[in-house]
A and B are shown apart, each in its own frame.
Chain A
Amino acid sequence: MAFAEAMRQINPDVVAAYPITPSTEIPMKFAEYVADGLVDTEYITVESEHSAITACVGASVAGARVMTASSANGVGLMHEIFPIAAAFRAPIVFGLVNRSLGAPVNIHCDHSDSMPERDSGWIQIYCEDAQEVYDTALMSVRLAEHPDVLTPVFVCQDGFITSHCYEPVDFLDDEAVTEFVGSREPRYPLLDVDNPVSYGSFVMSEHYFEIKRNQMEGMENALRVCREVSGELARITGRDYPPVERYRTDDAEYVIVIMSSAAGVVKDVADDLRSRGVRAGCLRVRMFRPFPSEEISEALSGVKCAAVLDRSASPGGTPPLAAEVRSALYTSCCAGNRMPSPVQSFIYGLGGRDLYPGDVESVFEGLSRGEHFLAPRYIGLREGTGGEERGGR
């Protein structure tokens, strides 16, 4: 809803969306705005999520300001087109409501839909609450369309927990939004028939590599531009969003690294532990692509132990956030900085299972006892004794 309201105020040129279940309320709400004449948007209803994102790409390279939204398996169906959008430098802003990928069919939150897209070349921003979703939608238009970036953006929020819960959100006036987002100035619009260009021509090995490297430059610039745009919005709203939120980490001995809505629980528990003399903190990663490695290694440089809580798994590998955090710390360590040790990895909340304060407290307790496990562990999972022998029965 907060995202849909931001869309109404942004008034994009084109929205193409498909109302699959499970999708989101966002295209539904936006369709009402179109029907009520509140926006000038060309709203394209299509026959699948794949077509939705394909139409978005076409409209974006034509020169339009384009937004859409989806979730879970709908995002999965769009997968083929995401890297094309990024390679075309199509600055689409995408409301991604994080829901688990089937099977089994489930409509609730985890990050298994967006994480497979982490190498698609899209910026990924994970929001903690509805206010942040709204603010991020506004700044993402500027970020995506910035000439140094020209990269599509996923504005991620937790399915149901953030997308469907009621909470107060402070909206800007329509005029303030219009002024903040400005209008798009496309670099090579297909509709400029006097200056014809072609997108996505066949390229053999002679130039493919150079074109992909050129594309990465937009991502390289995104952290800097995001800070600038965020600062500019903060001057209007008073709300600033750095790539990483450091909650009581400055003097912390034990830190939990987490993304999105569950950070609230970790912050609450950190407050509680602090009142009992434990120096606990929460490091909330807001930007996942590009990954703010330096901020993270700097924030963790003084801690004794850290735990990374992932809301998705990478079967056979390290969960995505933990892998990135460890990589950042290893790089920082190679540069001569101290590495907190050990960095524990946990998986929580798959299929919308809640993360309770008691769960978080036991993670902090484990950290303070210096527990060390090589493999990722699970939070809130029913585990029988006997392990594998019981499996499959």
Chain B
Amino acid sequence: MSGGGLCWQDVLPGTVTLGASSQSVETGLWRSVRPVLDAGKCVSCLRCWAQCPDASILTGDGGSVLGINMFFCKGCGICAQICPVGAISIRPESDFQGEAVSSGRGVGPLKVGELVG
């Protein structure tokens, strides 16, 4: 074979990839449904922030929820399930056709620390 890939002598040993970080992996591409925040209902309990498996809940000063990082959010729906006041609803990605790409790429990737504050 084939292709423009690396030959076996040139791949790094040990399955290593250099500088690799989950911060550049757009897990948002896997989403088929997305959470939508109604900030007016949110009581800042931060349950969604604590439970989101992709650290996608963006918070501001005093623990207010500012939004959801669509670069990482993969649409698991946990945040909507655990929100005690129904501030997060789940809608199909098809509702966002056209804006999906820009809303995904615009937010991330972010450096550690940038999410808070």
A200 at the interface (CB under 8 A from B): yes
In angstroms, Cα B12 to Cα A276, docked, is 58
Whether B15 contacts A203 by the Cβ 8 Å rule is: yes
Whether A188 contacts B16 in the complex (CB less than 8 A), given A196-B21, A206-B3, comes out as: yes
Partner of B17, one of A88, A187, A198: A198
Which of A10-18, A163-171, A208-216 forms contacts with chain B?
A208-216
B11 at the interface (CB under 8 A from A): yes
Whether B15 contacts A88 by the Cβ 8 Å rule is: yes
Closest CB in chain B relative to A204 CB, distance in Å: 10
Partner of B7, one of A200, A210, A217: A210
Whether B15 contacts A201 by the Cβ 8 Å rule is: yes
Whether B13 contacts A215 by the Cβ 8 Å rule is: yes
A207 at the interface (CB under 8 A from B): yes
Complex interface residues of chain A between 68 and 118 (CB less than 8 A to chain B): 87-90
Whether B15 contacts A199 by the Cβ 8 Å rule is: yes
A352 at the interface (CB under 8 A from B): no
B98 at the interface (CB under 8 A from A): no
Whether A214 contacts B11 in the complex (CB less than 8 A), given A207-B5, A207-B6, comes out as: yes
> Beta-carbon contacts of B1-33 to A below 8 Å, as 1s and 0s?
001011111111111111111000000000000
A127 at the interface (CB under 8 A from B): no
Complex interface residues of chain B between 73 and 89 (CB less than 8 A to chain A): none
Whether A210 contacts B5 by the Cβ 8 Å rule is: yes
In angstroms, Cα B14 to Cα A211, docked, is 8
In angstroms, Cα B6 to Cα A206, docked, is 9
For residue A215, which residues in chain B have a CB less than 8 angstroms away from its CB?
13-14
In angstroms, Cα B15 to Cα A209, docked, is 11
In angstroms, Cα B16 to Cα A379, docked, is 47
Interface size of A as a range: 20 to 34
For residue B9, which residues in chain A have a CB less than 8 angstroms away from its CB?
214
A363 at the interface (CB under 8 A from B): no
Q: What is the number of residues of chain B that contact chain A, defined by CB distance less than 8 Å?
A: 18
Whether B15 contacts A210 by the Cβ 8 Å rule is: no
In angstroms, Cα B14 to Cα A214, docked, is 9
In angstroms, Cα B18 to Cα A203, docked, is 14
Question: What is the total of A-B residue contacts with beta carbons within 8 Å?
Answer: 64
Whether A197 contacts B13 in the complex (CB less than 8 A), given A207-B5, A207-B6, A213-B8, comes out as: no
In angstroms, Cα B17 to Cα A207, docked, is 12
For residue A207, which residues in chain B have a CB less than 8 angstroms away from its CB?
5-6, 11
For residue B18, which residues in chain A have a CB less than 8 angstroms away from its CB?
195-197
Closest CB in chain A relative to B56 CB, distance in Å: 20
In angstroms, Cα B18 to Cα A89, docked, is 15
In angstroms, Cα B9 to Cα A44, docked, is 36
Whether A210 contacts B6 by the Cβ 8 Å rule is: yes
Closest CB in chain A relative to B12 CB, distance in Å: 8
Partner of B14, one of A89, A206, A209, A213: A89
Closest CB in chain A relative to B40 CB, distance in Å: 40
Whether B6 contacts A196 by the Cβ 8 Å rule is: no
Whether B20 contacts A206 by the Cβ 8 Å rule is: no
In angstroms, Cα B15 to Cα A88, docked, is 6
For residue B20, which residues in chain A have a CB less than 8 angstroms away from its CB?
196-198, 201
Closest CB in chain B relative to A57 CB, distance in Å: 11
Closest CB in chain B relative to A120 CB, distance in Å: 15
Partner of A196, one of B11, B13, B14, B19: B19
Whether B19 contacts A87 by the Cβ 8 Å rule is: no
In angstroms, Cα B21 to Cα A197, docked, is 8
In angstroms, Cα B18 to Cα A113, docked, is 36
For residue A195, which residues in chain B have a CB less than 8 angstroms away from its CB?
18-19
In angstroms, Cα B10 to Cα A372, docked, is 49
Closest CB in chain B relative to A66 CB, distance in Å: 14
For residue B7, which residues in chain A have a CB less than 8 angstroms away from its CB?
210
For residue B15, which residues in chain A have a CB less than 8 angstroms away from its CB?
87-88, 199-201, 203, 211
Whether B16 contacts A198 by the Cβ 8 Å rule is: yes
Whether A61 contacts B5 in the complex (CB less than 8 A), given A196-B19, A197-B20, A201-B20, comes out as: no
Q: List 16 A-B contacts (CB under 8 A).
A: A196-B19, A197-B19, A198-B17, A198-B21, A199-B16, A201-B15, A201-B17, A201-B20, A206-B5, A207-B6, A207-B11, A209-B8, A210-B7, A211-B11, A215-B14, A217-B13
Residues of B in contact with A (beta carbons under 8 Å apart): 3, 5-21
With A88-B14, A210-B10, A213-B8 already in contact, 9 other A-B pairs whose C-beta atoms are closer than 8 Å: A90-B14, A187-B14, A188-B13, A197-B17, A197-B19, A207-B5, A209-B8, A210-B8, A214-B9
